[in-house]
Structure formats: structure tokens, C-alpha cells
């Protein structure tokens, strides 16, 4: 591997994150308990600085560094900005919840930052080794985050399930990557595409490798039928952790899926397109139907995640720039919606009251009209009701599916989306039309949380009315 000075500029966001996280580790080690405020502020500022370093490089910068191990392109820039922004929102939302439950520690911020570093590496991967390095750095940090509340048996159980099934998924993916290496003789994603260009799709080694890679990607995204870890982990984790793992990692998983499927296996798009079509259909069916019967809001949002992953896969299976752009747009929009939805649970939660049940939102409009309005925007956007941005996310994906010649799949997606609207509208009905069983007003919460969630909710309307700039960058990422 040949190192050049220009390579350091390419990895500037990662250098900022690693250096800043290690510095924050030392600071938190010697900080007093009341110094947690500084850790909180510095962690958010570090993510802002990382985003600024991406912008300083120039959004249009396209280069390959470190002998092809690292790729800097428009796609990685857009994904990194989205990951840093969503992660900063999650940190902003988490502080009061963690403080009330005596979980407000430096470890939370450090694990989130290390996980974000792994995501940043993953979306810029140019080699099979970089893919796995970024994936494991992201995954190992999230395993520890789920177990943050060590005295909570449900959190410990969720962490064990997440670790065991996540390790299984990583092993399956690694096995597929090893077969890909065996078939091509190289670790470079671009060279793999060239080496496999003349191969027959029916070659056993390549066919097995592709199947294992698809299964690994489905596990990491939470697509049915490989979603069994997702509801239990979402419910068992502290809500502050669920807010993070339910949003930003989906962006990184999309980046990994595109790097592996298009960059290295683009010549087999017909084969993996059919696989993704089946996964998408299963995710839409299982996610929406299972969410209908949930009474726990976190489990309902977990199953809704499965259905949204189905829409994301619909964009990927198009195998062209329009489909990829639609999937990228949907991934960014969903990350914002998911962070906001779980953030609303954090807004209502207080010590001794988790606000995890749908019934806990009964009569919310009577107690806090503004909180109910923000939740309405988020639920309506998740349901895909115009003119909110969730509607346009679904619309561009469906257009891409129709362009790919799979009209039947688009019709099925619309049917399941209509079914799925029920459980989102049920939350709205509970807030506005049911009588509250708790007459107490919503307690005054952290100012940053209220401002952040208000901006997140209003962004659903703003991005819906002015989706053009974001969609244009998503299209540009694949030109």
C-alpha cells in the first residue's frame, strides 16, 4: 500500500472523529460528574466539526486513496453529512432521559462517536477489508450501547440477542466476502467487478458468495425474514439508545449495500435484484401486518422499520441511478422520521414513566398541543401522507420500481403502505380523540430536546414542500 499526503485530506472527517473522540475520552476520564455537560456539548460539536470537514473538502470531490481502500465521492459525502446530523440530533434528545435514569455517562457519548466513525469508514469503503472494518466498529459499539443500563434485565437480554444474532450476521457476510475474494482474487471492489465481468453467473463460488452477502445485508438492515432481532432490541434498549440505533445505522447499511452490490457485483444485478424483490415484499408484508397488533410504541416502530426497509430495498433493486437516488433519499428521510418518533418518547418520558405504550399518548393534545402536533407530523410522514416528506420518499421509490418493469411489486407496496397507515393514524387518534388518563401537564423538559424535536417535526413539512435540493444531491451522487 502506497501512502500519499493527499490521502490524509481524503480521510479528514475520520481523522477529526478519531482524534476528537480520543481527546474526549481523556477529558471525560478526569472530568467531575458535573462536567458531563461539557462532554455532551463537546460530543455534539465534534459531529458538527466532522460535518464541516466534509463540506471543506467540497461536496463534488471524487478521489480514491490509500491504494483504493478508501473512496471519497458524492455519495459518501451526502451519507456522512446525514449520519453526522442525525447522530447529533440523537445526542441532543438523549441527555434528559439519561440524566433521569442515572445513565448520563461519558461512555454513552464515546460509544456513539466510535459507532459513527465506523459508519463513516463503511460508506467510504473501497475494499472488502474496509467494509468489514467499518461494519464491525459500528456494530461492536452499538452492542455495548444496548447494554448501557446494566441493572435492567430487559436491556441485558436485548444486548445478548443483538450480539449473538449480529455476530451470526457478520459471520455470514464475512463468509460471502471470502467467497467473493476466492472467485476474483482481489479485495478491491472495483477490481472485483472487472474480474467477475466475464464470469458466468451460475459459477458456484460466486453464486454462494452473492447469496451469503445478500443475507448479511438483510440482517444488518433488518429486512424480513432476518428481522427477528429488531423488535426485541428496540424494546429492550434504553429509549435514548433505540433512537440512535434506529436511525443513523440504516444510512450506513444502505451505503454498504450499494458498495457491495453495485460497485463490485453490478454485473449480477438481475440475480440480486430478484433476491431483493423477494426480501422487499416479505418486509412490507411482515412489518406492516405485525405492527397492526402492537400496543407498545417501540415495538410498533420496530416493525414499521421492517416495512420501511422494504421500501428502501425497492429502490436498490432498480439497479440504476434513479433507483439508487430514490433509495438514498428514502434512507435519509426515514432516518430523520425515526429519530423524531423515538425522540417524542424521550420528550414524554420522565423518571418512573417510560411513555413506551401507545396508551401513554392518550389525550396528549389536551396536555401539550405542541407536542401532539409534532408527533402528528412525524406519524403522518411515516404513514406517507402528503405533503409531508415521507409521501415523496415513497413516491420516488415507487416510480423507480415501475421504471424497472416490476409493476406488480409497486402495486403490492401501495397496498401494504395503505395497510400500514392504520397503525400510524391510530397514534394520532389516541392523541386527539381519546380522553387522557393522566391529567398532569407535560413537565418542562430540556430546551435542546424541545427545540430539536420541534425542528425535526417541522422539517417533515419543510422537506416535503421543498424536497428538490435534497433529491438533486441524491441524484448527483450516482451520476
State residue 7's pLDDT score. 77
Once rounded to an integer, what is the mean pLDDT over residues 240-269? 91
Given a cut of 60, whether residue 435 has pLDDT beyond it is yes
The whole-angstrom separation of Cα 38 and Cα 91 is 13
The percent of residues above 70 in pLDDT, for the chain, comes to: 95
- Kindly state the DSSP code that residue 33 receives in the 8-state scheme: G
Task: Report residue 64: phi and psi, to 5°.
Answer: -120, 130
Given a cut of 60, whether residue 293 has pLDDT beyond it is yes
Q: What is the pLDDT of residues 463-478, one digit of tens each?
A: 999 999 999 999 999 9
Pick the more confident residue, 338 or 436.
Answer: 338
State residue 424's pLDDT score. 96
Given a cut of 70, whether residue 428 has pLDDT beyond it is yes
**Distances from the Cα of 157 to the Cαs of 27, 79, 163, 237, 354, in angstroms?**
32, 32, 10, 9, 18
User: Do 68 and 190 meet the contact criterion of CB atoms below 8 Å apart?
Assistant: yes
Given a cut of 90, whether residue 446 has pLDDT beyond it is no
State residue 135's pLDDT score. 95
> Binning pLDDT at 50, 70 and 90, where does residue 444 land?
low
Exposed/middle/buried for residue 288 (C-beta within 10 Å: 0-12, 13-18, 19+): buried
Closest by Cα among 214, 235, 234 to 225 = 214
State residue 78's pLDDT score. 96
- Number of residues written out for the chain: 479
Q: What is the pLDDT of residues 133-148, one digit of tens each?
A: 999 999 999 999 999 9
Residue for grid cell 433493486: 317
State residue 35's pLDDT score. 67
The whole-angstrom separation of Cα 62 and Cα 77 is 10
Q: What is the pLDDT of residues 171-194, one digit of tens each?
A: 999 999 999 888 888 899 988 888
Residue for grid cell 450499494: 258
Given a cut of 60, whether residue 201 has pLDDT beyond it is no
State residue 198's pLDDT score. 52
State residue 376's pLDDT score. 96
State residue 29's pLDDT score. 84
The whole-angstrom separation of Cα 3 and Cα 271 is 37
30-39, 147-156, 209-218, 224-233, range with the lowest pLDDT: 30-39
User: Do 283 and 313 meet the contact criterion of CB atoms below 8 Å apart?
Assistant: yes
Given a cut of 50, whether residue 390 has pLDDT beyond it is yes
At CA 55, angle to CA 341 and CA 118, rounded to 5?
A: 60
Once rounded to an integer, what is the mean pLDDT over residues 228-248? 94
User: Do 291 and 300 meet the contact criterion of CB atoms below 8 Å apart?
Assistant: yes
The string of DSSP codes covering 238-295 is -HHHHHHHTTHHHHHHHHHHHIIIIIITGGGHHHHHHHHHHHHHHHHHHHHHHHTT--
The b/e string for 396-430 (b: 16+ C-beta within 10 A; e otherwise) is bbbbbbeebebeebbebbeebbebbbebbebbbeb
Pick the more confident residue, 7 or 307.
Answer: 307
The whole-angstrom separation of Cα 402 and Cα 79 is 26
Instruction: Count CB neighbours of 107 within 10 A.
Output: 13
Once rounded to an integer, what is the mean pLDDT over residues 413-420? 94
State residue 106's pLDDT score. 87
Show Cβ contacts of residue 255 under 8 Å, excluding neighbours closer than 6 positions: 75, 76, 79, 119, 122, 123, 125
Given a cut of 70, whether residue 167 has pLDDT beyond it is yes
State residue 61's pLDDT score. 87
3-state secondary structure of 353: strand
State residue 202's pLDDT score. 46
**Distances from the Cα of 199 to the Cαs of 187, 204, 205, 213, 231, in angstroms?**
17, 11, 11, 18, 40
Amino acid at each position: 500500500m502506497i501512502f500519499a499526503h493527499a490521502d490524509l485530506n481524503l480521510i479528514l472527517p475520520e481523522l477529526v472523529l478519531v482524534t476528537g473522540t480520543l481527546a474526549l475520552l481523556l477529558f471525560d476520564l478526569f472530568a467531575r460528574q458535573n462536567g458531563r455537560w461539557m462532554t455532551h456539548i463537546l460530543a455534539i460539536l465534534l459531529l458538527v466539526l466532522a460535518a464541516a470537514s466534509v463540506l471543506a473538502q467540497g461536496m463534488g470531490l471524487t478521489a480514491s486513496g490509500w491504494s483504493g481502500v478508501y473512496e471519497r465521492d458524492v455519495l459518501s459525502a451526502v451519507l456522512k453529512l446525514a449520519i453526522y446530523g442525525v447522530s447529533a440530533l440523537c445526542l441532543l434528545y438523549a441527555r434528559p432521559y439519561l440524566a433521569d435514569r442515572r445513565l448520563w455517562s461519558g461512555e454513552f457519548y464515546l460509544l456513539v462517536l466510535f459507532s459513527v466513525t465506523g459508519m463513516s469508514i463503511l460508506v467510504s469503503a473501497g475494499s472488502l477489508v474496509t467494509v468489514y472494518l467499518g461494519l464491525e466498529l459500528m456494530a461492536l459499539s452499538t452492542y455495548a450501547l444496548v447494554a448501557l443500563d446494566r441493572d435492567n434485565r430487559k436491556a441485558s437480554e436485548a444486548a445478548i440477542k443483538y450480539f449473538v444474532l449480529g455476530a451470526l450476521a457478520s459471520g455470514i457476510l464475512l463468509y460471502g466476502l471470502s467467497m467473493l475474494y476466492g472467485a476474483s482474487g482481489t479485495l478491491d471492489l472495483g477490481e472485483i467487478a472487472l474480474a467477475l465481468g466475464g464470469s458466468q453467473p451460475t459459477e458456484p463460488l460466486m453464486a454462494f458468495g452473492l447469496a451469503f452477502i445478500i443475507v448479511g445485508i438483510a440482517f444488518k438492515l433488518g429486512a424480513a425474514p432476518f428481522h427477528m432481532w429488531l423488535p426485541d432490541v428496540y424494546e429492550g434498549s434504553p429509549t435514548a439508545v433505540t433512537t440512535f440505533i434506529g436511525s443513523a445505522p440504516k444510512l450506513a447499511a444502505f451505503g454498504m449495500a450499494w458498495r457491495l452490490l453495485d460497485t463490485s457485483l453490478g454485473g449480477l444485478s438481475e440475480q440480486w435484484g430478484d433476491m431483493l424483490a423477494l426480501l422487499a415484499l416479505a418486509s412490507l408484508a411482515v412489518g406492516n401486518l405485525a405492527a397492526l397488533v402492537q400496543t407498545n410504541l417501540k415495538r410498533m416502530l420496530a416493525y414499521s422499520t421492517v416495512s420501511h426497509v422494504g421500501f428502501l430495498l425497492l429502490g436498490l433493486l432498480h439497479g440504476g441511478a434513479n433507483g439508487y437516488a430514490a433509495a438514498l433519499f428514502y434512507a435519509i428521510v426515514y432516518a430523520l422520521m425515526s429519530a423524531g418518533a423515538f425522540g417524542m418518547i424521550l420528550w414524554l418520558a420522565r423518571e418512573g414513566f417510560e411513555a413506551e405504550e401507545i396508551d401513554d399518548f392518550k389525550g396528549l393534545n389536551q396536555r401539550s398541543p405542541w407536542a401532539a402536533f409534532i408527533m402528528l407530523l412525524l406519524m403522518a410522514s411515516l404513514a406517507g401522507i402528503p405533503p409531508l416528506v415521507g409521501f415523496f420518499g415513497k413516491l420516488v421509490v415507487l416510480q423507480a420500481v415501475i421504471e424497472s418493469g416490476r409493476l406488480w411489486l409497486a402495486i403490492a407496496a401501495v397496498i401494504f403502505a395503505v395497510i400500514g397507515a392504520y397503525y400510524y393514524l391510530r397514534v394520532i387518534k389516541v392523541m386527539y380523540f381519546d380522553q387522557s388518563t393522566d391529567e398532569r401537564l407535560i413537565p418542562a423538559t430540556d430546551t435542546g430536546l424541545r427545540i430539536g424535536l420541534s425542528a425535526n417535526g417541522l422539517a417533515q413539512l419543510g422537506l416535503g414542500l421543498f424536497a428538490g435540493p435534497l433529491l438533486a444531491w441524491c441524484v448527483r451522487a450516482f451520476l
